[in-house]
Amino acid sequence: MKISLKSRIVSALAVTALAGTVVVGAPTAANAAPQCATASFVTQCGGVGADGAPYAFIAAANFNGTVFLYSHGVRPAIDIPATLAPVGPYTKTNAAEPGPLAASDMSVINKLVAAGYGVAGSGFSRQGVNATEALAANKELIATFKTKFPTTKTVIAWGESLGAMHSQMLAEKNPELVDGVILACPAANPQDALIAYFGDALWGFKALFDPSIKVGGYSTDAATRQGEQLANIGKVLTVLGKLSAGLSSGAWPDTASPAGKALQAAGIPSRSALLLVGSMAGIPTRSKHVDGTSGPAGAAETYPLAVAPAVAILENMGTVGVAGSLLIADGELLTGGKVFDNSKTDYAARVASDRDIYSFAFSGNSAVDAMLGALAATPRETADAAAVAKIPGLIGLKGTIAKPTVIMAAESDEYTPASIAQWYIDGYDAQFAAAKDAAIAAAKSSRSYQAPVNKLVMLWAKTAPKYSKFTAAGSPDLGATIGAGTGHCNYTSAQYIAAAKMVAGAVNTGKFPNQGPIVTAAKKVGLSYDKKFRVPTFKSLA
């Protein structure tokens, strides 16, 4: 669910294709024919769908009949002021986005159009959690594109973050409209796994560091709810700042709960509690600038064991806490009630596999027991059953792979955890095994075995062993280049193009190539095709 802030937004009026000039006028009235202009053999079109969502699409004179239908990641449904930097300033927008990286880099779009492909994308009528609106907009945009370019034969749905959910949902609900799929950093998750991910992290902060933090129960009045969201983001950022200041000393925020203050009195450093919250939610213990194995001069051996895991959680929690404050409130608005529930969650089981691995950073098993005891004594959150029952209808996916599909995921993505990609892999393994069994059974009567065709290629951005840089003071250098396989949707133009070529080729030939060519193509763009590689599943689903 990528939050598209200032750098991830592109307007239908700013689409620049190969000619490098703006040729599309203002969007037309809702559901009217698109306005189009052609220059240097490239046709650009912009318009507004039936629900008011702006869209844009581009194709050249050498259009080959295949269009890539792009779905952008999540954008906040509220304005965010500059006072909440670095999250703000942000102004809500539904500008169209016809391809990845389009706000700052037109190379993906340009290369596809030059190769004869079409590109298209909607801005969607609603921001935030908008799978229902995206499904309707994408279906309409396919029809609009085909009307303008009647030689269209193939549609490849691709999206990043929440847009991957849109692409997968389109493929599942309207398979007749889609021929191939690309899911980048997918938020296309199993039911409410991401709600638990964000909710567990926020609840942990509430339970230990600031009891006034909201996990759920936002107001139904729009203005009041927005104020609550902004206040919550501010509280999360404030707590993170105080935890950062106390990393070395172990000092706790002055906003700590009574349970947190009791742990402080017992001599348990705040960084150990921070790590516990990250562990129970499943937040990666490697981040953009913390590799978990490097240390500053003078602490090269102790830092990775005692401090690094908490520092990674600290950096990752900035994304998780902000996203949770935005998305849980939006989910409650759509469902009419509270959607996060941890009334029966066993947090001791959640951290069981980590207590030995990070024993030093946790300050020992007795400290872990004390922190779990504090959490056990803290009131839990209870969801509204009627609201929870609506979740599958809003974001529910089966995860079925029925079309040639490429998934790209980073091993240490803090926003849409790699567990989502693993869910798809595990599901497809079962799906493929069932297809193989069915083929064997059919062969017994037909005397002819037709092996099932592989329809999934998983491309990993693996986290590098070492990439941390440190300042002279011994702190992680947050201005350094981020590590490979970290962060959310940090894919290059070459990586997007490689995925596009793989899917287009599989749609054209009816199958992906053998493992060798895929391994080579992935390696050329810094990705890995490794069928033996796996990451842990969601802790909330374990």
Please state which of the ranges 151-165, 181-195, 460-474, 519-533 shows the lowest mean pLDDT. Answer: 181-195
Summarize pLDDT for 46-58 with one digit per residue, the tens: 999 999 999 999 9
Rounded Cα gap, residues 232 and 324, in angstroms: 10
Task: Report the chain's terminal Cα–Cα distance, integer Å.
Answer: 22
Q: What is the pLDDT of residue 102?
A: 84
* Residue 235 half-sphere exposure toward CB, CA atoms < 13 A: 22
Chain mean position to CA 505 = 26
Summarize pLDDT for 87-120 with one digit per residue, the tens: 999 999 999 999 999 888 899 999 999 999 999 9
Q: What is the pLDDT of residue 12?
A: 24
Enter the pTM of the model: 0.93
- pLDDT tier at 222 (50, 70, 90 boundaries)? very high
* Residue 20: how many other CB atoms lie within 10 Å: 11
Can you spell out the DSSP letters for 470-503?
B-TTSSB-TTSPPPTTBSSS---HHHHHHHHHHH
Query: Does 211 sit behind a cis peptide bond, omega within 30 degrees of 0 on the bond before it?
Result: no
**How large is the C-alpha radius of gyration of the chain?**
24
How long, in residues, is the chain? 542
Summarize pLDDT for 449-501 with one digit per residue, the tens: 998 999 999 999 999 999 999 999 889 999 999 999 999 999 999 999 999 99
Give kind and range of the element (H or E) at residue 133: helix 131-148
Strands (E) located in 351-442: 405-410
Burial class (CB in 10 A: 0-12, 13-18, 19+), 179: buried
Please give the C-alpha separations between residue 200 and each of 185, 375, 447, 480, in angstroms, as whole numbers.
Answer: 21, 11, 54, 30
Summarize pLDDT for 255-301 with one digit per residue, the tens: 999 999 999 999 999 999 999 999 999 999 999 999 999 999 999 99
Query: Does 417 sit behind a cis peptide bond, omega within 30 degrees of 0 on the bond before it?
Result: no
Please give the C-alpha separations between residue 63 and each of 8, 118, 191, 404, in angstroms, as whole numbers.
Answer: 27, 7, 38, 21
SS3 37: strand
Rounded Cα gap, residues 9 and 28, in angstroms: 20
Q: What is the pLDDT of residue 27?
A: 63
Q: What is the pLDDT of residue 31?
A: 79
Query: Sign of torsion, CA 503 159 335 282?
Result: positive
Summarize pLDDT for 93-102 with one digit per residue, the tens: 999 999 999 8
The fraction of the chain above a pLDDT of 90, given in percent, is 87
Count helices and strands in the chain by DSSP H and E runs:
16, 9
Q: What is the pLDDT of residue 541?
A: 77
SS3 252: coil
Tell me the two tokens of residue 299.
């602490």
Residue with tokens 């941890």: 342
Q: What is the pLDDT of residue 70?
A: 98
Q: With 50 as the cut, is the pLDDT of residue 366 above it?
A: yes
Tell me the two tokens of residue 98.
């016809």
SS3 content of the chain, % helix, strand, coil (to 5): 40, 10, 45
Report the greatest alpha carbon distance in the chain. 75
Residue with tokens 């083929």: 439
Q: What is the pLDDT of residue 15?
A: 31
Which of 481, 317, 485, 505 has its CA nearest to residue 408?
Answer: 485
Which of 125, 219, 163, 238 has its CA nearest to residue 3?
Answer: 163
SS3 155: strand
